[in-house]
Copies of this chain bind each other. A is one copy, B any other.
Amino acid sequence: MDINEAKKQLMELQSKMSAYMHAMELIYYDEATSAPKKTAKNREHALAILSSEFYQLSTGKETIEMLEFLDDRKEELNQKEKRMVFLLLKDIRQMQKIPMDEYIAYRSLLAGAYDLWRSAKENNDFEAFRPTLEKIFETNIRFAGYCAPEKDPYDYWLDQYEDGLNKEICDAFFATLRARIVPLLEKIKAAPQVDDSCLFGNFPEDKQAKLSSFLMNQMGIDPGHCVLGTTEHPFTTSIGSHEDVRITTRYDESNFSFSMFSVIHEGGHALYDMASDEDLAYTTLDGGVSMGIHESQSRFYENLLARSKAFTSFILPTVKELLGEGNPALANASAEDFYKAINKVEPSLIRTEADEVTYALHVMIRYELEKKAMAGELAVKDFPAEWNRLYKEYLGIDVPDDKHGVLQDSHWSGGSIGYFPSYALGSAYGAQFLKKMKETVDVDSDLSKGDFSRINTWNKEKIWRYGSLYTPEEVLERVLEEPFDAGNFADYLEKKYTEIYRLTN
């Protein structure tokens, strides 16, 4: 084989892979947004075949020969080619270890799992989802054993979502947060509480949808390349390349802040995914590098920017104009009232509605539960009881039913076990990014005018445009120019909430 021919084949392979991904991602997106409800079997049929074709394409003999040929000639590859070969071989060497029939069976299982989870949640019926959830956990443990027999299964999956992550790092990371968040939360609980009644009322979906459009426009999201759908659980997905990104939200007519911040959160993911350099399209480097870095962007926009005093002051007049009719307290709210309401801290049942302070505790609960289950120390049938016990222990609240408990998140139905910690990591990365950004960008001044252009440019130049070219570790090094330290996040929380709740030391 000739090196130039092999390089050409490398690009053709990725181009083909992206077409299959386009099809499969669209089938999943369609399932969540538009498809008739009784069509799971039909989707499973198509996905089983397409994923089998994808598997054969990406792990076939010719593909492996080409990639190993290039891997043996790293010195003749540019930086991007080197990274492509590394990532493709990493995936292939893992996929090779999974028997094809098991891989196909797993894709089929997942194809039907979202619908099952959704209806189980609707009907508050954990038992209806349990057998599928058991199979998903069993399969993830088995696949980890195939792919990395030397590793602990949960370590294997944590590393899948965040390169280099494992239980040891997570344990230390969460310990740092716990040591500072728990005392902060105790002080907040003891202080006079914030009144957030202005967020509740009667806010018609079409008015909230107008706020969504306004926010997306303000954030600099090009509607020609990104549209918003509605789903039970908000998410972001790219269809084929960074040219086509979809975000979704859910409207709660009694509480507009849920969709408001979910749109900003998914918008952060979308900005990251959409901004890969043009030449990364249809390659494995297109789009964000890891879940941790991804969540650092989504939670950066959602919390560090959009829950700031500067941005809440900017957005309040628009919120009042669109939604003020839904509640007189909102129509009359001062900037200070609104800022405090948006940042009210209160132990609650639902992770996606949690404030910045308690959020990490919601994540820790999922982490503890997954850790036990992946170690074989907790059966799926015992998830509801363990979930409820942990909510009592960490947050001091009683879970009334599984709909508001163990069934609330869609992640497991998609096979994502080990994903949750990246939310907390992302928050912590983001706090340190913001500190760095403020060295050169007057973030608060820009946000007070609703102007994201300099913020987006900073993120684009430092992070987004490289897609998956750099590892998460390299991204952190390049951006921060100092080691990552979760203490920055704790500092941020302490400063912000000491002021909001007028806490004393």
Contacts and interface: CB of A to CB of B under 8 A. Distances in A.
19 contacts: A15-B45, A19-B46, A19-B48, A22-B46, A23-B27, A23-B46, A23-B50, A26-B26, A26-B30, A34-B34, A34-B227, A34-B229, A36-B226, A36-B244, A37-B224, A38-B225, A38-B243, A42-B239, A45-B282
B42 A243 contact: yes
A227 B36 contact: yes
A20 B45 CA distance: 11
A149 interface: no
Contacts of A378: none
Contacts of A39: 224-225, 239, 243-244
A300 to B, nearest CB: 23
Contacts of A37: 223-224
Contact of A36 (B15, B16, B225): B225
Nearest to A16: B49
A240 interface: yes
A379 interface: no
Contacts of A16: 49, 53
B225 A45 contact: no
Interface of A: 15-16, 18-20, 22-23, 26-27, 29-30, 33-39, 41-43, 45-46, 48-50, 53, 222-227, 229, 239-241, 243-246, 281-282
Given A34-B34, A42-B243, 12 more contacts: A15-B49, A19-B45, A22-B42, A26-B26, A26-B30, A34-B229, A34-B246, A36-B245, A42-B239, A42-B281, A43-B244, A46-B240
A209 to B, nearest CB: 13
A29 B46 CA distance: 16
B227 A45 contact: no
Contacts of A223: 36-37
A225 B18 CA distance: 29
A11 to B, nearest CB: 13
Most chain B beta carbons < 10 A, residue from A20, A22, A29, A229: A22
Contacts of A34: 33-34, 227, 229, 246
Given A18-B46, A49-B19, A41 B243 contact: yes
A36 B282 contact: no
Contacts of A38: 222, 224-225, 243
Contacts of A227: 34-36
Most chain B beta carbons < 10 A, residue from A23, A43, A46, A53: A46
Contact of A35 (B50, B222, B241, B244): B244
A229 B36 CA distance: 11
B30 A45 contact: no
Given A34-B227, A39-B244, A243-B39, A45 B26 contact: no
A103 to B, nearest CB: 16
Contacts of A41: 243
A22 B45 CA distance: 10
A98 B322 CA distance: 56
A241 B36 contact: no
Nearest to A222: B38
Contacts of A224: 36-39
A53 B245 CA distance: 25
A62 to B, nearest CB: 15
Contacts of A226: 36
Contacts of A53: 16, 19, 53
A31 to B, nearest CB: 10
A25 to B, nearest CB: 10
Contacts of A33: 34
A290 B246 CA distance: 36
A52 to B, nearest CB: 9
Contacts of A222: 38
A223 B38 CA distance: 8
A18 B45 contact: yes
Contacts of A15: 45, 49
